[in-house]
Amino acid sequence: MDCIRLCILGINQRALDKLHGLPCDAAILDLEDAVSPFKKAEARALACEAVRKGFGDHKEIAIRINSLSTDWGRDDLAQVVSSGAHAVVIPKVDSANALQEVASIMDSLNAPHHMSIWAMIETPLGVLNLSTILATAHPRLSCLVAGTSDLSKVLLLAMQYLAWIVLAARAHGLTALDGVHLDLDNDADFARQLAQGKELGFDGKTLIHPKTILPTNAAFSPSPEEVQDAHAIIRAFQDAVAKGNGVALYKGKLVGTDIIYHFHTLVILTYQDFVVHPQTTSC
Query: Residues comprising the binding site for substrate?
Result: 64, 122
Helix residue ranges per DSSP H, the chain: 13-19, 40-53, 73-83, 96-108, 124-128, 130-135, 148-154, 158-171, 187-200, 213-220, 224-242, 257-271
Query: Residues comprising the binding site for Mg(2+)?
Result: 122, 150
Q: How far apart are the first and last CA of the chain?
A: 24
67 with 31: CB under 8 angstroms? no
Spatial separation of the C-alpha atoms in residues 174 and 193, rounded to whole Å: 21
Query: Residues comprising the binding site?
Result: 64, 122, 150
HSE at residue 267, side-chain half, CA atoms within 13 A, is 13
Alpha carbon 248 to chain centroid, angstroms: 34
